[in-house]
Structure 1
Amino acid sequence: MSTFRPKDIIQFDKGFPVMCPEIPAYYYKDNHPYDERPALGRLNIGEPKHAASSVKALRDEITVLIKFSFAYTKTPVDSGILERFINHQVPDINREPFIIPPGLYIVTSVSEGGLNSNVYCETYQPVGRVYKFYFTGGFGGYGLARVVEV
């Protein structure tokens, strides 16, 4: 059974592991660098998550495909024009790291499930962006050295 209840206010310190259902998919390997769909991912409070998918990898993949198509048809390709075309079609992206800041969060719900409970939280008295995440603990072991009810 969870030691937390809805409407509890909790202080999260840097390094506490949580699951975030709203992090854009491009922060994870093997996702398209323009994929903005929300994805569920693990991260630590206060530690930045950098985009794992690369525009360079996408450009390289497209270049290989185009060169293969030209080679298959025995058609010459101008590498300079191809590079300018690819750079124009697949522009650079400057992504800021995704980070859930340490601080106060409110428990919105708790789901009990056997030995583990998921405790769902969101930003307490937000100024700007609202962060939503959950953490899981077994036998009430939520790393209470880092999570303290306020």
Structure 2
Amino acid sequence: MKTYVTKPADIRAEWWVVDATGQNLGRLASRIAQILRGKHKPYFDPSQDCGDYVIVINAEKVAVHPRHLDQKIYYRHSGYPGGLKEIPLRRMLQTHPERVIQKAVWGMLPKNRLGRRMLKKLKVYAGPEHPHQAQQPKPLPL
């Protein structure tokens, strides 16, 4: 038997569109991360970017447990002493709902050059409209 090695010419990227309305945040992010990595394809190779593009619409309507709205905190640091910023999930959903999904998906991707390249294939929009009609995305069955 011979081991098949995926070549970059064999990789075909497709476009998928996901409606986040009423979807559980963690389950949605997990499915999106699988598609971005390409684990659903028969020629999956963990050392190559063989995943697809994913468009997420209605990010502001994603479902989260009510307790998490106040208990889940997003942190960032300015780099200066005392520069730690805390933003609860409730405020993040009001101001930047697309970042909530991006951060959840990033937590499920590899933390290296390949993972950063995969994350660039994720397009998240707060409302129902997106500018990627020319790619003819297919609805992703969840």
TM-score (norm 1): 0.22
Pick the structure with greater CA Rg: 1
Pick the structure with more helix per residue: 2
Pick the structure with more strand per residue: 1
